[in-house]
Amino acid sequence: MTTNILEMRNITKTFPGVKALSDVTLDVERGTVHAICGENGAGKSTLMKVLSGVYPHGTYTGDIVFEDETVEFKDIRDSEAKGIVIIHQELALSPYLSIAENIFLNNEQTGPLGLIDWNKTNHEAAKLLARVGLKENPTTKILDIGVGKQQLVEIAKALSKRVKLLILDEPTAALNDEDSDHLLDLILHLKGQGITSIIISHKLNEIKKVADTVTVIRDGKTIETIQKTDVTEERIIKDMVGRDLEHRYPDHTPNIGAEILRVEDWTAHHPQDPTRVMVDEVSLNVHAGEIVGIAGLMGAGRTEFAMSLFGHTYGTRISGKVFKHGIEIKTRTVSEAIKNGLAYATEDRKHYGLNLLEDIKRNIALASLDKLSSNGLVNDNEEYKIADGYRKSMNIKAPNVLAKTGKLSGGNQQKVVLSKWIYSDPDVLILDEPTRGIDVGAKYEIYAIINALAAEGKGIIVISSELPELLGICDRIYALSEGRITGQLPIEEASPESLLKLMTMEKPR
């Protein structure tokens, strides 16, 4: 019997057109905490989905050996039956059910006649809550407890399934410091009880605190596995970003003019939990013709900043000042923001960017209908002409602009979103993850478009979780961590290492 509880051997997983995992190998020793690190999109979550049966056996190649036995999971129930439980970043709890009901969801504690035995349910739940150190009544509803406690309920639920290998996907991303510390302590405590954990995280300090072993994944490949004694921040960062920067970005000669936009002390709070500061006194500026990057890890408050700025579409208790060409402007509603020359292309095209039921033409026109209309009537033919112009200049691959946007590929959808905002003729464009979910060829085209817009004298803010992308196209990069700007680097001084250091810099406590 080996000391490894899990061995994943030569795992390769392909999605249409993309190799998400290539020949990944992962050994996890029994009774340890194993951290998996990597940039967003490196393949961490895909690997865990293969392990937990979300991607069933047969959709990947390679072997999974769990407790010395080759396993072939058909679905998540199979893996749970063996004692592998995954806790996703978005918690899978039902808000209107009690803690106890959630713990035993689909594993109900029944008495005779198959009816639920409430005494047993609540009693067992209380015992589990004690194990995870959560002092709450099992009958309390999930929506009445904070997200940190909800995370503990998830772990209690995992314990109820006699978990042997617990997988936590970015467990502290949504937690405050106190809750994070408690959670990490609990993971160590469970280790003492013989439960092995895999924790996905890119918070280096928490990795150092709990992990015995760290595996770094990059571009769907295992880079190396490091023992605790050898873990250093520099080594992990180097492993995470070490890809060679090929010629993936079009040439960009900056021609930077006067300051267009300045934001001072921008602060926004969480809409449901106004005590949480999501954007913390952010100050930044953009010049004409400048491409400014905002780098931040997931949960750093990038989108929250952009959306709170753009018509207060995120958050409550928003404060701060915005200046355009030195004159203060307001951006309280989206139409006010548009009128003042702002545009925001969302990171989530499908939910916030496009009306997928409508054609290309109408999507492009939507933010600028007043330009296309007189007396409240839209000039259809002019709209067609404008949209067709964008179809050609942006190389949107569709037979004509009457094609529904729901049928386009991600890259072409993104070009429609960009066309819409370019047509609104803004002074400053905020592009949130402009190349997410887009293939390499289309990415190059998007970068070329961004360059051309800067060359026209517009100010561009690019939010991205891909550091190479920011380093490839920006003139200046701000780093955001926990809602605060932790530094800015001109492109000459920026490197993945220097940025990651700023991006993981925590609030002084």
Partner 1 sequence: MTNTQTPVTEETAAGGGIHPTENKFTSWLSHLLADLGKNGIFLALLAVVIFFAIVTDGILLRPQNISNLIVQNGYILVLAIGMVMIIIAGHIDLSVGSVAAFVGACSGVFAVSWGLPWWLSIILSLGIGALVGVWQGFWVAYVGIPAFIVTLAGMLIFRGLALVVLGNANIGSFPTEYRALGNGFLSNVFGDLDLDPLTLIVAAIAVVALIVGQFRTRVARQKYGQEVEPIVWFVAKLVLITLAIGFFAYALASYKGIPVTLIVLAVLVLIYGIIMNRSVFGRHVYAIGGNRHAAELSGIKTRKTDFLLFVNMGVLAALAGLIFTARLNLAGPKAGDGFELEAISAAFIGGAAVQGGVGTIGGAIIGGLIIGVLNNGMSILGLGIEWQQAVKGLVLLLAVAFDVYNKRRSGGK
Residues engaged in binding partner 1 (CB under 8 A): 250, 310-311, 313, 333-335, 337-338, 344, 346, 351-358, 362, 365-367, 369-370, 373, 376-378, 380-382, 384-386, 388-390, 393-395, 397-400, 406-407, 420, 422-423, 425, 441, 444-445, 448-449, 452-453, 456
Residue 20: in which H helix or E strand, if any? strand 18-29
Within a 10 A sphere around the Cβ of 326, how many other Cβ atoms? 9
Nearer to partner 1, 206 or 445 (CB): 445
Nearer to partner 1, 188 or 402 (CB): 402
CB of 356 to partner 1, least distance (A): 7
Angle of helix 496-503 versus helix 233-241 axis, rounded to 10: 120
CB of 22 to partner 1, least distance (A): 24
Nearer to partner 1, 254 or 311 (CB): 311
CB of 371 to partner 1, least distance (A): 10
CB of 23 to partner 1, least distance (A): 28
Locus of tokens 């478009």: 449
Nearer to partner 1, 97 or 356 (CB): 356
CB of 390 to partner 1, least distance (A): 6
Residue 225: in which H helix or E strand, if any? strand 221-227
CA distance to 40, 304, 331, 356, 376, per residue, from 28 (Å): 22, 36, 51, 44, 65
As a whole number of angstroms, the distance between CA 37 and CA 240 comes to 7
Nearer to partner 1, 62 or 457 (CB): 457
As a whole number of angstroms, the distance between CA 106 and CA 121 comes to 12
Residue 181: in which H helix or E strand, if any? helix 177-192
CB of 261 to partner 1, least distance (A): 17
CB of 147 to partner 1, least distance (A): 23
Amino acid at 329: I
As a whole number of angstroms, the distance between CA 216 and CA 463 comes to 24
Q: Is 182 exposed, middle or buried (0-12, 13-18, 19+ CB in 10 A)?
A: middle
CB of 82 to partner 1, least distance (A): 33
CB of 449 to partner 1, least distance (A): 5
Cβ within 8 Å of residue 54, ≥6 positions away: 75, 76, 86
CA distance to 306, 308, 336, per residue, from 343 (Å): 10, 13, 11
Range 124-133, long-range pairs (CB < 8 A, 24+ positions): 124/100, 124/160, 125/99, 125/100, 125/156, 126/100, 128/103, 128/156, 128/157, 128/159, 128/160, 129/99, 129/153, 129/156, 131/156, 131/159, 132/156, 132/159, 132/186, 133/182, 133/186, 133/189
CB of 291 to partner 1, least distance (A): 15
Look at phi and psi of residue 335 and say left if phi exceeds 0, alpha if psi is from -120 to 50, else beta. Answer: alpha
CB of 446 to partner 1, least distance (A): 10
**Phi, psi (degrees; rounded to nearest 5) at 14:** -115, 135
Residue 406 DSSP code: G
**Phi, psi (degrees; rounded to nearest 5) at 368:** -135, 35
As a whole number of angstroms, the distance between CA 349 and CA 436 comes to 10
Nearer to partner 1, 104 or 310 (CB): 310
Nearer to partner 1, 104 or 390 (CB): 390
Please say whether the beta carbons of 19 and 40 come within 8 A. no
Nearer to partner 1, 130 or 369 (CB): 369
Nearer to partner 1, 385 or 507 (CB): 385
Nearer to partner 1, 283 or 395 (CB): 395
Nearer to partner 1, 119 or 333 (CB): 333
Nearer to partner 1, 353 or 483 (CB): 353
CB of 509 to partner 1, least distance (A): 36
Nearer to partner 1, 79 or 419 (CB): 419
Report the b/e string of 380-395 with b at 16+ CB within 10 A. Answer: eeebbebbbebbeebe
CB of 302 to partner 1, least distance (A): 16
Please say whether the beta carbons of 309 and 331 come within 8 A. yes
